[in-house]
A = this chain, B = another copy of it.
């Protein structure tokens, strides 16, 4: 009886998001722990079967560093961004496309979804250009230095045609965050940004970013201070007041940009919790932070 009542409770959400595109950014814990990945994949397939159109973008930072170490190459970062020489780019590509993407595809297929792996290189899905070298200033010493991150790119355009062909034909696209420039050079991209841009271009209803924190916290040290809902207009204030900071800052900015580009709502949720996607979509309270216009 409980089973059925819950199905009935889910009905309004199923109706509301019928045929709507849901962009899910797999990240954090959800990418490492086998069980969490299993649960995330199953949730994604369920969304498809109850009539939504899930699209997956995944990250993979930790796995890339692990593989680099294995191959005797030390990962290097400047202000959180990976310095990407050609050799590193090759490893990034192999890990994202050859390892993580294929694993997600497998999990999705195992649970009955028709997953198809893509990268930004497929039919030039994501055109990008190399980030210009830029000057950064050491906050403490005031020293400035020129930084060239190498093959790190900025998105120039997203061509959603392939994605739309796939969703219309009942496939679930799973996308690796690499781009390609005019000369077919591969560029390393930020996965959150890729998720946000694609969400905008395909007119997604929701952008859901899986992380390994509960959402935006008033006090990052205290999970009980989760902010359930914020309006896009409040983001500026929260940044100023130092509540949105560090890792959460770019994620929130990505969400804000996506909302401005037409996405209806953006969600930052905890990928470590089993079935967090479903909990966010199918319950009134949700489990993370929802940002809306």
Cα of A7 to Cα of B116 in the assembled complex, Å = 24
Q: In the bound complex, how far is the Cα of B8 from the Cα of A42, in angstroms?
A: 8
B98–A124 touching, CB < 8 Å: no
Is A106 an interface residue when CB atoms closer than 8 A count as contact?
A: yes
Report which of B51, B109, B124 forms a contact with A121, defined as CB distance below 8 A: B109
Given the interface pairs A46-B14, A49-B11, the reply to whether A122 lies near B115 with Cβ below 8 Å is yes
Residues of the B chain whose Cβ atoms lie less than 8 Å from the Cβ of A1:
274-275, 279
Indicate how many identical chains form the complex. 6
Q: Is A152 an interface residue, CB under 8 A from the partner?
A: no
- Number of A residues whose C-beta is below 8 Å from B? 64
Interface-facing stretch out of A22-30, A74-82, A179-187, A248-256: A179-187
Quick one: CB contact mask for A168-199 with B, threshold 8 Å, 1 for yes? 01010000000010011010000000000000
| A4 at the binding interface (Cβ < 8 Å) | yes
Contact between B282 and A7 (Cβ–Cβ < 8 Å)? yes
Contacts A117-B121, A121-B102 given: A107-B9 contact, CB under 8 Å? Answer: no
Whether B94 pairs with A119 at a CB distance below 8 angstroms is no
Cross-chain contact A275 with B184 (CB below 8 angstroms): no
Scan A3-27; emit 1 where CB is below 8 A from any B CB, else 0.
1111111110011001000000000
Asked if residues A123 and B112 are in contact (CB atoms below 8 Å), the reply is no
Asked if A102 and B119 make an inter-chain contact with CB atoms under 8 angstroms apart, the answer reads yes
Q: Say whether A238 faces chain B, with CB atoms less than 8 Å apart.
A: no
CA–CA, A125 and B274, complex, Å: 29
Please name all residues of chain B whose beta carbon is closer than 8 Å to the beta carbon of A36 when the two chains form the complex. Answer: none
A98 to B183, CA, bound (A): 19
Kindly state whether residue A147 has any CB partner on chain B within 8 Å.
no
In the complex, A283 has a CB within 8 A of chain B: yes
Q: A280–B119 Cα gap in the complex (Å)? A: 32
Q: A4: which of B49, B99, B102, B282 is its contact (CB, 8 Å)?
A: B282
**Interface status of A118 (Cβ within 8 A of chain B):** yes
Q: Is the CB of A275 within 8 A of B4?
A: yes
A70 close to chain B: CB less than 8 A? yes
Q: How far is the CA of A285 from the CA of B69 in the complex (A)?
A: 52
**Contact yes or no, A275 B115, CB < 8 A:** no
Is there an interface contact between A94 and B105, defined as CB atoms closer than 8 Å? no
Across-interface contacts of A99 in B (CB, < 8 A) = 90, 93-94, 98
Task: Pull 21 A–B residue pairs with CB atoms less than 8 Å apart, ordered by A.
Answer: A1-B279, A2-B6, A4-B275, A4-B279, A4-B282, A7-B7, A7-B278, A7-B282, A8-B42, A8-B46, A8-B275, A11-B111, A11-B112, A94-B95, A94-B99, A102-B121, A106-B121, A109-B123, A116-B118, A117-B117, A117-B121
Apart from A90-B99, A117-B121, what are 15 other A-B pairs with CB-CB below 8 Å?
Answer: A1-B279, A3-B279, A7-B282, A14-B49, A70-B71, A94-B98, A98-B98, A109-B123, A109-B124, A110-B184, A115-B122, A115-B123, A117-B118, A165-B165, A165-B169
